[in-house]
Every structure is written in structure tokens, then in C-alpha cells.
Structure 1
Amino acid sequence: MKDCNPVDILSWSKIVLLCFLGAASPGPSLALVSANTLARGRAYGIATSLGHAVGIGLWALLTAIGLVNVVVATPAVLIAVQLLGACLVSYIGFRIISTKPSPSGSKIPLPISSSNTLIQGAVEGLLISVLNPKIALFFLAIFSHFVERNMGWTATGLLSITAASIDAGWYVAVTLTLTKASMISLLQMHSPTIMKISGTFLILIGLYLFCNIVLSTL
């Protein structure tokens, strides 16, 4: 099967920069990864980061093959995605608020060895990226302009892997920064307050997304 010419270096450089700027921009994803890291530890934060990266890679793939247009152009699908995203963010916010602070003298983050628990973190990361309509709009409105229409499957696969790798690298770096030894004592001292602020912030984001849905349907 004939494959199309690979994307030139300049185009890839633009795509890499765009992916980094998209990953580094504040929003529900950054709030979720940070909150999960503070609430459940480094391993859980990394699992959330990797799951989120898989979702970003999926959006990049859908953009490259043109299917992201279908999602954004179909009102029922877009509203369903928005509602699920708002509910997910709010649920995680409530869960973090209800998390009991670790006993005095214990380190933050606490190690998590259960594979099932880590899978839960990865699923949360995946869902927050897949169900975030702003990510879909980002890929449609901005990312799609840097994607060549005649890209073959090899270039398309590399594009998806590139987007996912940059996203994973950023959020894993955030997780590792939050769990550095120099940060542990500070986080331990203010753990209850940080949990409440993180959870409340996620709930407010969920309410904001829900209000946007209601206003857009009026």
C-alpha cells in the first residue's frame, strides 16, 4: 500500500510546539492531575497522566483522519460529551474533598501498589481528555490547520504518538515536581487545605461546564 510523503521538519516543529502549548495551558486536565497526585500519590498521578496522554493521542488521530469534525458538528454528540465531562470533573472533585488526610508524620504522597487503583487513575485521565469538549475544539480549530490532508497512515501514527508523548511528558513532569522531596513537607503541612481547594476547584469547573451547556442550548 502506498503511503504519503512524511511531514517536513518545519511542520513537525510547529506541531510539537502546538502540542506542548496545549498540554501546558491551565484547565481541568492540569487540575485533575495535580489533585490526583496530591490526594493519592505519585504513582496515581503518573497513571492519570499516561491515561490522559492516550486520550490526547486519540484526538490527534481523529483529527488526522477527519473524524473530529463529526464530533464537533453533531450537537447531540457534543452535548453528551460536555455533560459527561462536567459530571466526571465534579465527581472527582467531591471524591478528593472526601479523602481523609494522611496520619500525622506520614509522607505525601502515599505509595499505591494496587494495579486496580492505578488503572482507575489511568481511566480518569483518559476520560477527562476524551470528554473535554475544549480539547476537541482545540484539535479542530487549531491543530487541524497544521495537519496535511494527504498524510499516510505512517505519518498519522507518528502524529498521534507525538501528541501523546508530549502530553505524557508534561503531566508526568508536573507529577514528579509535586512529589519532590523538597515539596513533601510543605504538602504534608497543608494537606487538608490543599485537598479542599483542589476538590472545590474541580467542582467549580464542573459547574462552569454545566452552565455553559445550559446557556448554549437556550
Structure 2
Amino acid sequence: MLTGAHLLAFMGVVLLAAMSPGPDFVIVTRHAAISGKRAGMAAGLGIAGGVFVWALVAALGVASLLAASAIAYTVVKLIGAAYLAYLGVKALIGAWRRGERVQLDARLPPARPLVAFRQGLITNLLNPKCAVFFVALMPQFLPGTPTLTDTLMLSAVTVLITITWFTVLANLVGLLKTFFTSPKVRKAMDTVTGTILIAFGLKIATD
């Protein structure tokens, strides 16, 4: 059975992992800065959904197969890299077309939170490093003969911490939405985040 000390240690590791800069961080920051905190939180919920899937399949041993298979790992890695590059190129094209004026289609449409959720979910699910992370992490905190309750508890804790962190991040960045949606700042934001997403895609593909 899980002890309080093990659970606290696990929470600390997961929080540090969630806070580390990466594609998830960029996706949430971009949506919160440009479309507001609701879109940012939706992206965070999508990421949390992906984290739950990885935590669950890792606990069930499925993710270890992916981590052990060079072909499967490479396929997921390249698809994930291509998706990040696609999001980055899309942001860059938006920046170049936008020029010095804010277009009507740059404003938040009703479906934007759903789009943000989908991007967060796909970005996380197509990151094979998440599988490797949980394969290495989960067994360190589970008892020698873990029960289904132990597995679900760690998975739930992982999702809760992820949601909490990205909700805080989205709200902090969302407070500056007016600043980020000014024409010049929006163009710079799209250019910077687009470049970073492409860089992450290249890094994942060549790692």
C-alpha cells in the first residue's frame, strides 16, 4: 500500500516535470496569451487527459512495450514531431499574414477552447518521452505488489497536479491577454511560439 511519504515524493516529481519547459508549456502559454485563460485552461485539460492515458498505460505495462520497441517509439516520435512542426508553421504563417493589424479571425471563436483542448491532448499523446518518463517513474513509487487502487491513485494524482499547474499558468498569462493581443505583440508572440514549436519538433525528431 502507498505510504504518505511515497505519495508526497511522487507529487513533487510530477510537479517539477509539469513545470519544466516543453511543448505542453508552450501550447498552454500561447493559447492563454492569445485567446484568454479559458483557452489556456482547456489546453491544460487536454494535456492532463494525455498524462492520464500515459500514466494508466504505464501502470498497466503497455507503455513499457513502446519504450522497448525502437520502431514503435520512432513512429510515435516522428508523428509527434510533425504535429509540433505543423502547429509551429501555422503560427508563423498567421504572424506573417497578420502584419500590423488585428484581423477579425484572430479573435476567440466559440469553439476555440475545444481546439485548444484537442491540441493539448494530441501534443501530449504524441510525445513518446511521456511513456518513457512514466515507465521509469511509476514503478519507483508503487508497492512491490501494487493494487488497482494504488495505480489509479498515482494516475489521479498525476492528472490533478497537471491540471492545477496549467490552470495557474493559464490564469497568470491570461491576465496579460490585452497586452498579448496588441498587433505588434501578437505578431511577435506567434513568431516566437511558432519557432519554438518547430524547434521542439526538430529536437524530438532528431533526439
Letter in 1 for 2:110: S
Letter in 2 for 1:186: F
* Residue of structure 2 in register with 1:184 after alignment: 177
Task: Rate the CA distance shift 1:45–1:184 in 2: closer, same or farther, 3 A.
Answer: closer
Q: 2:19 aligns with which of 18, 24, 27?
A: 24
Task: Rate the CA distance shift 1:142–1:32 in 2: closer, same or farther, 3 A.
Answer: same
Q: 1:149, 1:54 → 2: CA distance? A: 27
Q: 2:19, 2:178 → 1: CA distance? A: 26
Displacement after TM superposition at 1:155 (Å):
2.2
What does the per-residue CA deviation read over 1:161-209, in whole Å, with 9 as the maximum and x for residues that have no partner?
A: 11011011111211111111xx234323412111111111101111222
Written as runs of structure 1 = structure 2, the 5 A alignment for 1:45-124 is: 45-99=40-94, 101=98, 110-114=107-111, 117-124=112-119
Q: 2:47, 2:116 → 1: CA distance? A: 10
What does the per-residue CA deviation read over 1:57-113, in whole Å, with 9 as the maximum and x for residues that have no partner?
A: 111112222222111001111011101110111111112223365955x9xx94442
SS of equivalent to 1:148: coil
Letter in 2 for 1:9: G
CA contact (8 A) 2:35 2:177 kept: no
SS of equivalent to 1:43: helix
What does the per-residue CA deviation read over 1:18-75, in whole Å, with 9 as the maximum and x for residues that have no partner?
A: 1101101111111121123234333222111101001111111122222221110011
SS of equivalent to 1:98: helix
Report the identity percentage: 25
* Residue of structure 2 in register with 1:205 after alignment: 200
Return 5+ residue gaps in structure 1 as ranges: 213-218
Q: 2:143, 2:59 → 1: CA distance? A: 8
Return 5+ residue gaps in structure 2 as ranges: none
* Residue of structure 1 in register with 2:153 after alignment: 158
Displacement after TM superposition at 1:130 (Å):
1.4
The RMSD of aligned alpha carbons is 2.3
CA contact (8 A) 1:35 1:199 kept: no
Q: 1:129, 1:85 → 2: CA distance? A: 9
Is the helix fraction higher in 1 or 2?
Answer: 2
Q: 1:21, 1:139 → 2: CA distance? A: 14
Q: 2:166, 2:6 → 1: CA distance? A: 24
Q: 1:172 aligns with which of 155, 167, 176?
A: 167
Q: 1:111, 1:42 → 2: CA distance? A: 11
TM-score (norm 1): 0.83
What does the per-residue CA deviation read over 1:130-149, in whole Å, with 9 as the maximum and x for residues that have no partner?
A: 11122222212234312224
